[in-house]
């Protein structure tokens, strides 16, 4: 079956006991056993819960994978992946990535003896150069944050596999509707389901999706042992979000194309970073490995910090907030928010200037969004 149908039905059969067409919230920590060790598949909700199970099947289905695992947050899912390794193992990560992943590597896993190096996401050779005989994992995010660069998944997978290392793709920005890294050669897909998958800015959640059974068993062992599982209510909300993922993603993309196009011609804007702009350097590769361009873009405003401050002070509809992927439009300032803790020199080297603004385009009416931007830009 096709994406839209699977999103609504996979893992979500009507409830056997009652016929309820929606998977119930099984708000129970434990399960009655008929005799010691005799039960209906569930013993304790850290190990397994029927609402979570439904979500895990649905997540695997979205990525056309065999196995899904749900976590309490995207960062908890990321932690589970890094925990597969031991002291002395080496990880390579792309240098344009989610700040929380960087923090986890630098401030948590390095302490435990994991070696970490960073590759320039603009140069495939830099991944190749970073490989050592201890390299066990390459971690990339594509499109990247906040500059929306596109990394060639197939080519990085080849670099990883040549050394028997795993490739992980954080697929949060694209969502499985627009990009499926596993068929392109990735071994593990990670999501912050907080973003597009749940899609309504109302939960924190994470996911891992894999095809390999051994990898699944190792990660499932970790999930149960470390215990960062989502509660049944959050799983239910994520499942509810998944049902409309396809229609939401189409609407996010349509609005993003419209607004990125508008801003790219605006006199007060110097650059727009959106993989869906035909003039951009990422367009061809995005067309090749993605089904669409998603709903995130960033742009540079002429006039630096002062201009950005005036824009934010006068902008209606768009909320100034971190996070992304919800139905409401959000705007944020990487230099002062997500990347504020990065030394200025490092930040500028990565292209995150004082003029850069990031937008998570919601699914409001696009004319209203354009008029809000136009009105605020007139006052910059």
Ligand X SMILES: *Cc1c(COP(=O)(O)O)cnc(C)c1O
- Say whether residue 206 binds ligand X (CB under 6 A): yes
Query: Among this protein's residues, is 195 annotated catalytic?
Result: yes
Dist. CA 139–CA 134, nearest whole Å: 15
- Cis bond before residue 356 (omega within 30° of 0): no
Burial 243-269 (b: 16+ CB within 10 A, else e): bbbbebbebbbebbbebbebbbeeeeb
Closest approach of ligand X to the CB of residue 100, in Å: 5
Q: What do you get for the CA distance between the two ends of the chain, in Å?
A: 49
Report the residue number, 100 or 303, with the smaller CB distance to ligand X: 100
- Say whether residue 195 binds ligand X (CB under 6 A): yes
Binding segment toward ligand X, per CB under 6 A, in 10-18, 112-120, 165-173, 247-255: 165-173
Query: Among this protein's residues, is 354 annotated catalytic?
Result: no
From the list 79, 142, 194, 211, which residue makes contact with ligand X (rule: CB under 6 A)?
Answer: 194
- CA-wise closest residue to 327 among 236, 248, 260: 248
Dist. CA 253–CA 242, nearest whole Å: 17
Report the residue number, 140 or 369, with the smaller CB distance to ligand X: 140
Catalytic one of 6, 52, 149, 195:
195
Query: Among this protein's residues, is 46 annotated catalytic?
Result: yes
- Say whether residue 170 binds ligand X (CB under 6 A): yes
> Hey, which residues between 212 and 271 contact ligand X (CB under 6 A)?
none
Closest approach of ligand X to the CB of residue 42, in Å: 25
> Hey, which residues between 58 and 77 contact ligand X (CB under 6 A)?
73-75
Dist. CA 194–CA 196, nearest whole Å: 7
From the list 12, 192, 294, 338, which residue makes contact with ligand X (rule: CB under 6 A)?
Answer: 192
Catalytic one of 89, 170, 234, 354:
170
Q: What is the CA radius of gyration of the chain?
A: 21
Report the residue number, 77 or 377, with the smaller CB distance to ligand X: 77
Beta strand 330-332 pairing with 356-360: antiparallel
Report the residue number, 361 or 376, with the smaller CB distance to ligand X: 361
- CA-wise closest residue to 157 among 134, 191, 133, 180: 180
Binding segment toward ligand X, per CB under 6 A, in 130-138, 151-159, 189-197, 249-257: 189-197
Query: Among this protein's residues, is 96 annotated catalytic?
Result: no
* Count of residues that bind ligand X according to CB under 6 A: 15
Binding mask of the shown chain, residues 319 to 338, with x at each position contacting ligand X by CB under 6 A? --------------------
Report the residue number, 100 or 231, with the smaller CB distance to ligand X: 100
Which whole-number Å values give the CA distances from 154 to 90, 142, 160, in the listed order?
Answer: 21, 12, 10
Q: Is 190 within 8 Å of 206 (Cβ atoms)?
A: yes
Dist. CA 129–CA 186, nearest whole Å: 19
State both tokens at 334: 């990487």
Binding site for ligand X (CB under 6 A): 73-75, 98, 100, 141, 145, 170, 172-173, 192, 194-195, 204, 206
């Amino acid at each position: 079956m096709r994406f839209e149908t699977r999103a609504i039905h996979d893992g979500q059969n009507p409830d056997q006991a009652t016929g309820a067409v929606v998977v119930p919230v099984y708000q129970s920590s434990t399960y009655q056993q008929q005799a010691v060790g005799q039960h209906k598949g569930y013993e304790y909700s850290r190990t397994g819960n029927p609402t979570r199970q439904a979500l895990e099947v649905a997540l695997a289905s979205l990525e056309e994978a065999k196995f899904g695992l749900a976590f309490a947050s995207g960062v908890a899912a990321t932690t589970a992946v890094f925990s597969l390794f031991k002291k002395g193992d080496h990880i390579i990560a792309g240098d344009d990535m989610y700040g929380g992943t960087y923090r986890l590597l630098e401030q948590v896993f390095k302490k435990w003896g994991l070696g970490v190096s960073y590759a320039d996401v603009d140069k495939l050779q830099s991944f190749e150069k970073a490989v050592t005989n201890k390299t066990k994992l390459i971690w990339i995010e594509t499109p990247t944050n906040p500059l929306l660069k596109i990394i060639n998944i197939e080519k990085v997978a080849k670099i990883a596999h040549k050394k028997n290392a795993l490739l992980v793709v954080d697929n949060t920005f694209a969502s499985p509707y627009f990009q499926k890294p596993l068929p392109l050669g990735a071994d593990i897909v990670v999501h912050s389901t907080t973003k597009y998958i749940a899609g309504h800015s109302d939960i924190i959640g994470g996911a891992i999706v894999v095809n390999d059974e051994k990898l699944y068993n190792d990660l499932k062992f970790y999930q149960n042992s470390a215990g960062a599982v989502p509660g049944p209510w959050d799983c239910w909300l994520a499942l509810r979000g998944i049902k409309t993922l396809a229609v939401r993603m189409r609407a996010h993309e349509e609005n993003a194309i419209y607004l990125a196009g508008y801003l790219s011609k605006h006199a007060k804007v110097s650059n727009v970073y959106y993989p869906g702009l035909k003039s951009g350097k990422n367009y061809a590769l995005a067309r090749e490995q993605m089904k669409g361009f998603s709903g995130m873009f960033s742009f540079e405003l002429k006039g630096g910090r002062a201009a950005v401050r005036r824009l934010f002070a006068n902008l209606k509809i768009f909320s100034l907030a971190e996070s992304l992927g919800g139905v409401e439009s959000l705007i944020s300032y990487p230099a002062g928010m997500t990347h504020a803790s990065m030394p200025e020199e490092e930040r500028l080297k990565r292209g995150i200037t004082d003029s850069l603004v990031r937008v998570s385009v919601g699914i409001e009416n696009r004319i209203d969004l354009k008029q809000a931007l136009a009105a605020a830009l007139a006052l910059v």
